[in-house]
């Protein structure tokens, strides 16, 4: 599951690079509207049973909230 989450983050970062490099609004919209990995983070959070897993899920949630709700919408 973590591999899938990290693959999804990599895709997001590549799409944002495409937006920045080519001012491609479709890439930015794809990222803002297609953040399906939030569901995967929730699933991981539910099955996290070690302190390390719980810390990872918390850090992923914090970063995701900052990046997708704060940073990206204000990035023009």
Helix (H) or strand (E) holding 10: helix 2-22
Residue 42 φ then ψ, to 5°: -60, -45
**3-class secondary structure, 6:** helix
Identify the pLDDT of residue 53.
Answer: 93
For residue 25, which of 16, 12, 38, 34 has the smallest C-alpha distance?
Answer: 16
Question: pLDDT, tens digit, for every residue of 19-35?
Answer: 777 887 777 777 776 56
CA angle, 4 then 8 then 11, to 5°: 140
What's the pTM? Answer: 0.74
For residue 3, which of 44, 35, 63, 33 has the smallest C-alpha distance?
Answer: 44
């Amino acid at each position: 599951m973590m591999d899938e989450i990290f693959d999804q983050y990599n895709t997001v970062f590549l799409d944002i690079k495409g937006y920045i490099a080519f001012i491609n609004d479709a890439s930015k919209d794809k990222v803002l509207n297609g953040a399906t990995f939030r569901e995967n983070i929730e699933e991981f959070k539910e099955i996290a049973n070690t302190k390390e897993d719980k810390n990872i899920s918390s850090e992923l949630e914090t970063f995701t909230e900052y990046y997708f709700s704060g940073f990206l919408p204000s990035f023009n």
